[in-house]
Amino acid sequence: MGSTMSQTVAPENGKTQHNEQSQTPKGAMKARVDVKHPNLTMLGLYLGAFLGMLSETAMNIALPDLSKSFGIGPGTAQWMVVGYMLVIGIVLPFTSLLLKWVPAKPLLLFALAMFFIGSLVSGFAPTSMFIVLLVGRMIQGISTGLVLPMMFAVILEVFPLNKIGAAMGMAGLVVMFAPAIGPTLSGALIGAFSWRAIFFFFAIIAALAFVAAAIWMVNAYALTRPKIDLISCIASILGFGGLVLGVSLISDLGFTWQVILILVIGVLAVAFYSYRQLHMANPIIDLHALGIRQFTVGALIVMMNFGITLATMYLMPQELQNGMGVKVAMTGLVMLPGGVVNALVSMLSGRLFDVVGPKWLVRGGLVLSMIGVILLMLAGPTTSIAYIIFAHVVLMIGIPMAMNPAQSSALASLPQHLSTDGSTILNTMQQVLGAVITAVATILLAAGQASSHTGGKAMAFVTGSRWGFIFALALAVVAFVVSFGMARQTKSDDASKR
């Protein structure tokens, strides 16, 4: 991308505008799409992404209640998580292509409507029909698969380059705070009402997001309508869907031949899909974004950091309840201070990125994440609640401190024609990795419990959790090593060269 660039926009009045992007005397650059209030433009996307990420962890606490209400075993109840992630894994890789065929605003409104409908279907599901509950949950997955990459892609269009860090900080707040607050909110709603209240809460927020998007969202992209390759579409569904389904089933079925077959099909399909995208004139996802070093390094750090989040958010509520005897509602309250700190750091780290760049923020955040995970590893059945809260707060400082600058650095390094593809790649990698991380954490939890022969069930669960925390620590170490490949310049410096 050169120092000036023209972007065609189709706004609400149907007229075409051309916004020249040029460098200001202070080194900042105008937004590619000129909107009066970019934060209002993003509001529907922020709320939709918040819902999607919130529901990933809110459902974990609800699974025991769902098992009792529907008379099903834990393995069947786990499909509320597996089915959701499966749909996300299938839908998400197509978002970049859809944005080239469908205007952004109608696509977002469709996505938010799907979450609203899915929430009501699950909320009103009769206890004699688990399939109805599951179908509603999978409909929600359609929305999350569309909204997450759209949020990061649209940020690059409606915010000036010198404010992208702050905007990414807000997006990071959505992505990181939602799963952190999920257990707290879920525990409170179940304690006060029932599991149905979770879905009705989702429906209310989805309705608000729909209204916000209908009022303020704009069509931020010119439609190019490239040719759709059916073979790539099939390979994408088999590949990403197979990987997510396969790794999600490991914790329930183990490495049976059926699970191994699903994984093999998934891996081969992804390999074929990737090769085909790199050799097509109009790929579904342009994987050439991975040839940009700053994007690839940032993407790897984001993946590892997201893995730390999912692993610890999966293990902590269970350890508190089963290893330390903490009640469900109290478990949510224990995790609340960390969630609040996460929100504050998410906003602050985005603004700091605009000033100092990503390198030292990312490394400092990863060091704090390591310390937080180590503190959690040292906890036992008799450890005080205050200690757990402190360890969680340290972790919740480190994760967003590294996540937001790494993500901003990765996406800001891309030329405009790769921005939607880069966002889709990043989010697809995160969701596939999320399924892998959850499966590995579950396997390690069970293996650790089996290895413990003293101290009773509580100590066995703590031991299993420690095995999972060691895995999270390994992810932090890998991310820290990768961070030394980050470019020295700040985002603004990098943008001025494009």
Residue pLDDT, tens place only, 43-54: 999 999 999 888
Give yes or no for residue 21 having a pLDDT over 50.
Answer: no
pLDDT band of residue 135 (cuts 50, 70, 90) is very high
Give yes or no for residue 4 having a pLDDT over 50.
Answer: no
pLDDT band of residue 117 (cuts 50, 70, 90) is very high
Distance CA 300, CA 297 (A): 5
Contacts of 149 (CB under 8 A, 6+ apart): 92, 95, 96, 420, 423, 424, 426, 427, 428
Give yes or no for residue 492 having a pLDDT over 80.
Answer: no
pLDDT at 439: 76
- Number of structural domains, the chain? 1
What's the mean pLDDT in 331-341?
81
pLDDT at 25: 44
Nearest CA-CA partner of 400 in 338, 487, 462, 357:
338
Give yes or no for residue 163 having a pLDDT over 60.
Answer: yes
pLDDT at 39: 83
- Residue 457 is encoded by which pair of tokens? 């069930």
Give yes or no for residue 56 having a pLDDT over 80.
Answer: no
pLDDT at 365: 92
pLDDT band of residue 465 (cuts 50, 70, 90) is confident
414-435 as b/e: b if 16+ CB within 10 A: beeebbbbbbbbbbbbbbbbbb
Q: Is residue 287 one of the residues assigned to a domain?
A: yes
497 vs 268, higher pLDDT: 268
User: Which range scores top for mean pLDDT: 236-245, 317-326, 445-454?
Assistant: 236-245
Give yes or no for residue 114 having a pLDDT over 90.
Answer: yes
Find residue 5's DSSP bridge partners. 21
Contact 460/477 with Cβ under 8 angstroms?
no
Give yes or no for residue 11 having a pLDDT over 50.
Answer: no
What is the 3-class SS of 352-403, one letter each residue? HHHHHCCHHHHHHHHHHHHHHHHHHHCCCCCCCHHHHHHHHHHHHHHHHHHH
Tell me the pLDDT tens digit for each residue of 348-402: 877 777 677 778 889 999 999 999 999 999 988 888 899 999 999 999 999 988 8
pLDDT band of residue 220 (cuts 50, 70, 90) is confident
Give yes or no for residue 490 having a pLDDT over 80.
Answer: no
pLDDT at 226: 81
Q: Is residue 25 one of the residues assigned to a domain?
A: no
Q: Is residue 140 one of the residues assigned to a domain?
A: yes
Tell me the pLDDT tens digit for each residue of 186-211: 878 888 888 899 999 999 999 999 99
Q: Is residue 11 one of the residues assigned to a domain?
A: no
Distance CA 199, CA 123 (A): 5
Domain of 320, in residue numbers: 30-497
Give yes or no for residue 22 having a pLDDT over 60.
Answer: no
Of 192-201, 296-305, 450-459, which range is least confident? 450-459
CA atoms within 13 Å, Cβ hemisphere of 229: 15
Contacts of 453 (CB under 8 A, 6+ apart): none
Q: Report the CATH number that the domain containing residue 363 is assigned in CATH.
A: 1.20.1250.20
Nearest CA-CA partner of 47 in 174, 201, 214, 186:
174
29 vs 394, higher pLDDT: 394
pLDDT at 235: 92
pLDDT at 74: 66
Q: Is residue 1 one of the residues assigned to a domain?
A: no
CA atoms within 13 Å, Cβ hemisphere of 9: 24
CB atoms within 10 A of CB 13: 7
What's the mean pLDDT in 262-290?
88
Nearest CA-CA partner of 141 in 90, 93, 175, 208:
90
Q: Is residue 2 one of the residues assigned to a domain?
A: no
pLDDT at 488: 58
Q: Is residue 404 one of the residues assigned to a domain?
A: yes
pLDDT band of residue 336 (cuts 50, 70, 90) is confident
pLDDT at 495: 42
pLDDT band of residue 83 (cuts 50, 70, 90) is confident
Residue 413 parent element (H or E)? none
pLDDT at 14: 38
Q: Is residue 9 one of the residues assigned to a domain?
A: no
**Mean pLDDT of all residues in the chain?**
81
